[in-house]
Amino acid sequence: MFKKILIANRGEIARRVILACRELGVSTVAVYSEPDAAMPWVRLADEAYLLKGASAAETYLNQEAIFRAARTAGAEAVHPGYGFLSENPTFAAACAEHHLTFIGPKPRVIQFMGSKAQARELAVSCGVPVVPGLDGAGMSDVQLAEAIEAIAYPLLIKASAGGGGKGMRVVHSAAEFKDAVKLARGEALSSFVNDHILVERYLTEIHHVEIQILGDQHGRVLHLFERDCSIQRRHQKIIEESPSPAISDDLRVRMAEAAVTLATAVGYENAGTVEFIVDESGSFYFLEMNTRLQVEHPVTEMIAGLDLAAWQIRIAAGEALPFMQDEIQRRGHALECRVYAEDPAQGFLPSTGVLTTYRPPSGPGVRVDDGVESGSEVTPYYDPMLAKVISWGQDRLEAVRKMERALRDMVVLGVTTNIPYLLSILGQEAFRSGNTTTNYLEQHMAGWMPGVSADEDVLLAAAIFEVLQSGGRRARNQDISEEVEARADPWNDLTSWRNVQGV
């Protein structure tokens, strides 16, 4: 086992990996940008090194600075988390050059599966179904327009090297195709330095279902069931759950087998996710593979009873998976909601500022993965996700009820969040019945507005904040007992008159 690991990331995933390392008795090294200097995960690590600057390019994407910190700290391995450098094959290869173990798959696998075109070819060779379409490599826009005539509209143009919705365009008619290709190529080139695109039939009423896999260095690849990630906004997931309410047991088995087949064929090691879409008829199609730990991995941990972050580290250290596929049992139902500092009523504009009060929920069946605390500042430099709230129940309805309670109990003051928006989704009959397609938000949440007006919301937040602040003040009445004096009593803050003296 490693003695010291550097976490090349920030926020809740940095904190999550630090906790996994503690479970394994491994020392941790954090790196942080100037805006993140006071964040809780920085203090949680055994050591922390400043990456000068504020932007991601200056800091968490700065390979030279990260390797310098690893060398200074004497780290033996690097955990990339998700995002930033986690799927960068150049970084993974450079880790080896700096005598560091990259906690993830081999660089060649990251590069191969990072190409949607190559991954699609592998799927076809393994007999895994793919969406009807074609590879636009080497084709001009005119040639591409001619080649897709046999595919019915609507079409989806997507960057081969892309992710997160970048380089994606939905085209509904031939008249739109030329401009859409130009825009997709341009965005792909600026985001991924690669304008290679694919064109596929765009399926509308679909479910996004992914299979979590684990592979060790000894040739064993196992799956840890599926997650349904269909509740998305602009191709970004906001609610995930397991098991999927949209698929049958037979389909679940076939998709899991397909995922294991693909991972085995590419020689996959460590944690990864094979993503599929499922159409109205129950047919499934390979979408892509994410060669890293997913944001939504806690959902799988809750239903499978395995620590994925810890197993990433153990596999990278050379440990073999000690269990067989039939020994992994699914239990209950888990749900995850991503809490963002953003305003859904204002086009989901990010909300920046200081968290004057932050109180995560707790209680039976509730888990929170976060990287903030009261006093933390939400800056414009990084993703505005504050926390992931995860609930577990014996069945889906129980998990949903616990999630609703948890979100209502959560206190976030100082910034606007999407909590009311999440609660609105959870409370709808369509969601509770499992009707969760990828266009759910367009169909059910278009034009959504909060139930409380903005002015009322501000006044309520101010009142709560004032009461919370009053808890640490001494009462002004000198005759009051020490017991009463210690209470958080808003009456103690009145400055003019009281109708009862000495109480």
Tell me, yes or no, whether 58 lies in a domain. Answer: yes
Tell me, yes or no, whether 109 lies in a domain. Answer: no
Tell me, yes or no, whether 116 lies in a domain. Answer: no
| Same domain, yes or no: 46 and 170 | no
User: How far lies 499's CA from each of 362, 466, 490, 493, 494, in Å?
Assistant: 38, 21, 14, 14, 11
| Same domain, yes or no: 368 and 395 | yes
Domain stops at, among 444, 467, 484: 444
Q: Are 209 and 277 in contact (CB under 8 A)?
A: yes
Q: Give the residue numbers annotated as catalytic, written as ranges.
A: 292
| Same domain, yes or no: 161 and 60 | no
Residue 385 forms beta bridges with which residues?
A: 340
Domain stops at, among 85, 103, 121: 103
**What is the pLDDT, as a whole number, of residue 56?**
96
CATH number at residue 160: 3.30.1490.20
Please report, for the chain, how many H helices and E strands are present, in that order: 17, 23
Domain stops at, among 171, 201, 231: 201
SS3 at position 77? strand
**What is the pLDDT, as a whole number, of residue 487?**
42
| Same domain, yes or no: 268 and 312 | yes
| Same domain, yes or no: 277 and 382 | yes
Q: What is the pTM of this model?
A: 0.86
| Same domain, yes or no: 193 and 45 | no
Could you tell me the sign of the dihedral formed by the alpha carbons of 292, 295, 299, 301, in that order? positive
Tell me, yes or no, whether 126 lies in a domain. Answer: no
**What is the pLDDT, as a whole number, of residue 479?**
42
Q: What are phi and psi of 497, to 5 degrees?
A: -145, 165
The alpha carbon of residue 333 and the mean position of all alpha carbons in its chain are separated, in whole angstroms, by 18
| Same domain, yes or no: 376 and 275 | yes
- The kind and range of the H/E element at 228 are strand 221-233
**Edge-to-edge, what's the strand order for the sheet holding 207-215?**
284-290, 270-278, 207-215, 221-233, 236-242, 333-340, 385-393, 366-370
**What is the pLDDT, as a whole number, of residue 190?**
82
Nearest residue to 473 (alpha-carbon basis) of 498, 450, 495, 492: 492
Residues with pLDDT less than 70, the chain? 163-164, 452-503
**What is the pLDDT, as a whole number, of residue 28?**
98
Pairwise CA distance, residues 2 & 18, whole Å: 13
Which residues constitute the domain of residue 317? Answer: 207-444
Nearest residue to 457 (alpha-carbon basis) of 338, 343, 353: 343
Tell me, yes or no, whether 295 lies in a domain. Answer: yes
Residue 267, judged by CB atoms within 10 A of its CB (0-12, 13-18, 19+), counts as middle
pLDDT in tens, 322-379: 999 999 999 999 999 999 999 999 999 999 999 999 999 999 999 999 999 999 999 9
**What is the pLDDT, as a whole number, of residue 458?**
55
Q: Are 210 and 226 in contact (CB under 8 A)?
A: yes
CATH number at residue 38: 3.40.50.20
Tell me, yes or no, whether 192 lies in a domain. Answer: yes
| Same domain, yes or no: 197 and 260 | no
| Same domain, yes or no: 214 and 145 | no
Tell me, yes or no, whether 121 lies in a domain. Answer: no
CATH number at residue 354: 3.30.470.20
| Same domain, yes or no: 458 and 373 | no
**What is the pLDDT, as a whole number, of residue 468?**
61
**What is the pLDDT, as a whole number, of residue 497?**
40
| Same domain, yes or no: 244 and 197 | no
Report residue 444 as tokens: 């059910």
| Same domain, yes or no: 232 and 365 | yes
**What is the pLDDT, as a whole number, of residue 491?**
46
Number of domains in the chain: 4
**What is the pLDDT, as a whole number, of residue 454?**
46
Nearest residue to 237 (alpha-carbon basis) of 82, 123, 408: 82
